C-alpha cells in the first residue's frame, strides 16, 4: 500500500519539526536523529527541517546515547556524542509536525497520548520510507545488532529526506 502523504507544516514561517521516538531514547531514536540530521544537511535541508528525538520511558534521561549506538555511528562517520536522553512530554505531540516511531509498540504509545487532531502526524518510521517493519531494539546487543539498526535507518532516511524536500519545496513554489 502506498504511504500516505506527509503531514503538512503546522506553521509555514518556522522549520518543519520531526521527532524520532523509541522506548529509551538511548539506542534507536538517537541514532535515527543523527543520521536524519546528517542526511538533511547533505541535501541542503538543514535549515528547513529541525530534528530531535525522545523516549517514551525515563530510564536514561539526561544521559548519553548507548556506547553501542555511538560506536556504530562512529564507524560510519557520524558523531553521536552530543546526545542527552529525554522522555516524551505529551504536550510535545502538539508541537511537532511529524513524529516517527521506531516500532509499533512506541507507535501505539504515541497514538494513545495524542489529541485526535495530531494523530495523522504520528507514523511508523519505516512506513514513511515505504516499508512496514519495526526497527529492532538493539539494547543489550552486540556491535552487529547496532550495525543492523544503522543499516535499516540509513536505508530509510534518504527516502524520508526526499519526501521532506518535496513537501517543503514543491515544484513551482519559487523558493
Binding site for ligand 4NP (CB under 6 A): 22-28, 55, 59, 137, 139
- Minimal distance, residue 37 CB to ligand 4NP, in Å: 17
Residue nearest to ligand 4NP (CB): 24
- Minimal distance, residue 137 CB to ligand 4NP, in Å: 5
Q: What is the Cα–Cα distance from 51 to 15, expressed in whole angstroms?
A: 10
Nearer to ligand 4NP among residue 93 and residue 109 (C-beta): 109
List the catalytic residue out of 17, 19, 22, 123.
22
**Cβ contact 20:29 at 8 Å:** yes
List the catalytic residue out of 17, 27, 28, 39.
28
Cell of 86: 529525554
For the question of residue 37 being annotated catalytic, the response is no
- Minimal distance, residue 154 CB to ligand 4NP, in Å: 16
Write the burial class of residue 43 (CB in 10 Å: 0-12 exposed, 13-18 middle, 19+ buried): middle
For the question of residue 22 being annotated catalytic, the response is yes
Q: What is the Cα–Cα distance from 175 to 172, expressed in whole angstroms?
A: 8
Cell of 122: 504520528
Pairing of strands 98-101, 16-22: parallel
For the question of residue 86 being annotated catalytic, the response is no
Q: Which residues are catalytic?
A: 22, 28, 137
Amino acid at each position: 500500500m502506498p504511504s500516505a502523504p506527509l503531514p503538512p507544516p503546522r506553521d509555514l514561517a518556522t522549520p518543519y519539526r520531526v521527532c524520532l521516538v523509541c522506548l529509551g531514547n538511548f539506542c534507536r531514536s538517537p541514532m535515527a536523529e543523527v543520521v536524519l540530521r546528517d542526511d538533511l544537511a547533505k541535501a541542503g535541508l538543514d535549515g528547513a527541517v529541525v530534528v530531535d528525538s525522545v523516549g517514551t520511558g525515563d530510564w536514561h534521561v539526561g544521559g548519553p546515547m548507548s556506547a553501542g549506538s555511538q560506536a556504530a555511528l562512529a564507524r560510519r562517520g557520524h558523531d553521536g556524542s552530543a546526545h542527552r536522553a529525554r522522555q516524551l512530554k505529551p504536550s510535545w505531540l502538539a508541537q511537532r509536525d511529524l513524529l516517527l516511531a521506531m516500532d509499533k509498540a512506541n507507535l501505539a504509545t504515541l497514538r494513545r497520548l495524542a489529541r485526535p487532531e495530531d494523530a495523522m502526524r504520528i507514523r511508523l518510521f519505516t512506513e514513511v520510507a515505504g516499508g512496514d517493519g519495526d526497527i529492532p531494539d538493539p539494547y543489550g546487543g552486540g556491535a552487529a545488532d547496532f550495525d543492523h539498526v544503522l543499516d535499516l535507518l540509513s536505508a530509510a532516511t534518504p527516502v524520508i529526506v526526499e519526501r521532506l524536500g518535496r513537501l517543503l519545496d514543491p515544484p513551482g513554489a519559487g523558493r
